[in-house]
Chains A and B, each alone.
Chain A
Amino acid sequence: MTSGAAEAAGLRRRTRAGWLLSTPALVLLAAGAAGPLLVVLVFSFLSQGEYGGVSLPFSGEAWFRIFLQRDIFDGTVSAADAHLAIFWRSVWISLATTLITFAMGLPTAWFIATRPPGQRSLWLFLITIPFWTNLLIRTFAIMEVIRNEGLLNTALLSLGVIDQPIQILFTDWATLIGTTYVYLPLMVLPLYAAIDRFDMRLLEAGYDLYASRWSVLRRVILPLVRPGIVAGCILVFIPSLGAYVTPRILGGGKNMMIGNFIELQFGQARNWPLGAALSMALMVVVMAALLVYVRVSAREGRDD
């Protein structure tokens, strides 16, 4: 009885101390990050103001206009093709980025994890340097490579592979190359963490049972490093989907992704409710992806 009361008092004390100490951080985040998101949510249900901004009444028009459009003259509803093209570009570029970074990242992470222990932290450091380097600098660096007079075209021209520079910059391919380059470290790091925990003796067991290299990879390695694969894919997919700087610089003005399209609504297009609705829709997709991650990692945790 008394010990139960003491425990309850301890819990009360812990709760109070925990919340009290976290309050400054929570206030800061509410003012500078989370709170404004609620304003965006409200804005997405308002009408377009005359000179930008928003006005009453409340309406679902902005959410409707994400996918659909209404003819000005006869009011017929049709799919908003221009919007769908932008969503489709964002999705395929993000998926392709995830696949390519995985194809490059798995061997790289494996390579690092199988180095002698003393060398590993050096190789890992080499992955973290680009990760922490300014996104703008990395985008600029890759732009220098794929420009018409850039490293790639100059090399191909002088080798005689092509007669004329290939126009890569300001196309979707440039954006894809850029996001792949920029997000590759985000794939390698979680994969390495998973492979590092992997028990290499399982490989011997596989080979002892006459498995080929391929079936060891497919049946032993991939299932066991799955949490790392899921984490890497989510970490690459989410920022690719919301990318803003890379498509703006490498894709040029026309090849927008969702991020640039959102900006357009708050800039030249002056359709704040649509921009707000698009932002919230993007967040829903991101939260769904995170939920998948949490559920997968929770399940893996139970398996252990």
Chain B
Amino acid sequence: MTEIRVAAAPDAPPLAATRTAPPFSVTRMPGFGLVAVASFAVLYLPIITLVIFSFNASTSMSSWGGLSLDWYRAAWRNEVVQEATVRSLILATSAAVISTTVATLAALGTTRQGRFPGRTAIYAMVNQPLMVPEIVTAVSLLIVFGFVRSLTGYQGLGYLILAHSAFCVPFAYLPIRARLEGMDRTLELAAADLYASPVQAFRRITLPLLAPGIMAGAMLAFVVSLDDVVITEFVKSAGQDTLATYMLGQFRRTLTPEVNAISTALLGFTLVLLTGFFLITRKRARDPR
């Protein structure tokens, strides 16, 4: 600070002072860099520790017993984990397909058309799962599905698929809508000029242009379904654990590094999907308009 005042003084500043003074940067805020680095450290240290301990040979969660893949092997051989994994994947795939399909239709209906009566109501309804606390949705589904269960006797995966598809809708809808809004309408008009029927124009022009948005939406829906704990925990029938609710159940017992191994595997899987999502959305940014 003093150096800067000296530099601003009308007399020629002492040469040594100007040389040692750091260049005045307008965007620099004292301490901000330090807090930012601390935030990144706080975000990543626990996750990195978790990953490292998944390769621990010892049964203990606190002492290091050498490098090994034992806990991955244990998790891989655990039949409950196998079943839960398969169930999670079936559920996430179904939820992603269903939610992305209905979200694509809704996005086509509510974007690029101009305002119409009720559009805001549709927005509100589509984004409703983002606004209601998860625990509230969970207990409401517990009540309603419990009633349906006692009426029909159906115990299958349908309840979970319905619940997951519903709360994934906004996650699928938002990237698709963003893609649609940034799309060039002239290509579709050109197709219409060249005597393409609306269906042909949609299949040959709109859908291919929209595909990255749909892919991105489906990926987000998949990740969100895979990660869900609360709603799944309340909706699932007996013996219908997903990977997430299986892990939640493990917290009642003595934890072993097996949980670390499952977490790390799930983390890796999410990371791959996310990287894919970012590559897709970045390609959109580079697309010539």
Binding site for B on A (CB under 8 A): 11, 14-15, 17-22, 24-26, 28-37, 39-40, 43, 103-108, 110-112, 114, 121, 125-130, 132-138, 140-142, 144-145, 147, 149-151, 154, 181, 184-185, 188, 200, 203-204, 207, 213, 217, 238-239, 241-242, 244-245, 249, 258-259, 262-263, 266, 272, 275-276, 279-280, 282-283, 286-287, 290
CB distance from A174 to the nearest CB of B (A): 13
CB distance from B171 to the nearest CB of A (A): 11
Set A29, A112, A249: member contacting B166, Cβ < 8 A: A29
Set B62, B108, B227, B230: member contacting A21, Cβ < 8 A: B108
Q: Contact check, B139 vs A133: say whether CB atoms are below 8 A apart.
A: no
Complex CA–CA separation, A18 to B223 (angstroms): 28
Q: Contact check, A21 vs B142: say whether CB atoms are below 8 A apart.
A: no
Q: Contact check, B229 vs A29: say whether CB atoms are below 8 A apart.
A: no
B29 within 8 A of A: yes
Complex CA–CA separation, A17 to B117 (angstroms): 12
Q: Contact check, B244 vs A133: say whether CB atoms are below 8 A apart.
A: no
**Assuming the A-B contacts A111-B36, A140-B50, A279-B136, are A35 and B43 also in contact, with contact meaning beta carbons closer than 8 angstroms in the complex?**
no
Q: Contact check, A286 vs B132: say whether CB atoms are below 8 A apart.
A: yes
Complex CA–CA separation, A286 to B133 (angstroms): 8
Complex CA–CA separation, A32 to B129 (angstroms): 10
Q: Contact check, B122 vs A26: say whether CB atoms are below 8 A apart.
A: yes
- List 18 A-B pairs, Cβ < 8 Å: A18-B116, A24-B105, A25-B102, A25-B106, A26-B106, A29-B126, A31-B162, A37-B137, A39-B143, A107-B33, A107-B35, A111-B36, A133-B270, A136-B227, A141-B263, A181-B43, A200-B27, A262-B135
Chain B stretch 41-72: residues in CB contact (< 8 A) with chain A: 42-47, 49-50, 53, 61-62
Q: Contact check, A32 vs B114: say whether CB atoms are below 8 A apart.
A: no
Complex CA–CA separation, A114 to B270 (angstroms): 28
Binding site for A on B (CB under 8 A): 24, 26-40, 42-47, 49-50, 53, 61-62, 98-99, 101-103, 105-106, 108-110, 113-114, 116-119, 122, 125-126, 128-129, 131-144, 162-163, 165-167, 169, 173, 223, 226-227, 229-230, 234, 244, 247-248, 251, 259, 263, 266-267, 270-271, 274, 278, 282
Interface residues of chain A: helix, strand, loop or mixed (majority) = helix
Q: Contact check, B129 vs A29: say whether CB atoms are below 8 A apart.
A: yes
B residues less than 8 Å from A238 (CB atoms): 133
Q: Contact check, B125 vs A141: say whether CB atoms are below 8 A apart.
A: no
Residue of B nearest to A142 (CB): B46
**Assuming the A-B contacts A18-B118, A133-B270, A137-B50, are A245 and B248 also in contact, with contact meaning beta carbons closer than 8 angstroms in the complex?**
yes
Complex CA–CA separation, A19 to B117 (angstroms): 9
A residues less than 8 Å from B99 (CB atoms): 28
User: Which of B105, B133, B223 neighbours the largest number of chain A CB atoms within 10 Å of its CB?
Assistant: B133
Interface residues of chain B: helix, strand, loop or mixed (majority) = helix
Complex CA–CA separation, A184 to B103 (angstroms): 29
Q: Contact check, A133 vs B30: say whether CB atoms are below 8 A apart.
A: no
Complex CA–CA separation, A279 to B128 (angstroms): 16
Residue of B nearest to A275 (CB): B139
Residue of B nearest to A21 (CB): B109
Complex CA–CA separation, A147 to B45 (angstroms): 15
A residues less than 8 Å from B138 (CB atoms): 244
Q: Contact check, B263 vs A137: say whether CB atoms are below 8 A apart.
A: yes
**Assuming the A-B contacts A22-B105, A32-B141, are A138 and B136 also in contact, with contact meaning beta carbons closer than 8 angstroms in the complex?**
no
A residues less than 8 Å from B50 (CB atoms): 137, 140-141, 144
Q: Contact check, B140 vs A32: say whether CB atoms are below 8 A apart.
A: no
B residues less than 8 Å from A24 (CB atoms): 101-102, 105-106
Q: Contact check, A128 vs B29: say whether CB atoms are below 8 A apart.
A: no
CB distance from A106 to the nearest CB of B (A): 8
**Assuming the A-B contacts A32-B162, A39-B143, A245-B229, are A20 and B131 also in contact, with contact meaning beta carbons closer than 8 angstroms in the complex?**
no
**Assuming the A-B contacts A129-B274, A137-B50, A150-B62, are A36 and B143 also in contact, with contact meaning beta carbons closer than 8 angstroms in the complex?**
yes
**Assuming the A-B contacts A25-B103, A105-B39, A151-B49, are A136 and B248 also in contact, with contact meaning beta carbons closer than 8 angstroms in the complex?**
yes
* Known pairs A33-B163, A184-B42 / 16 extra A-B pairs, C-beta < 8 Å: A14-B114, A18-B116, A19-B122, A126-B43, A128-B274, A134-B226, A134-B227, A134-B229, A141-B47, A181-B43, A207-B24, A213-B30, A244-B230, A245-B229, A279-B139, A282-B133
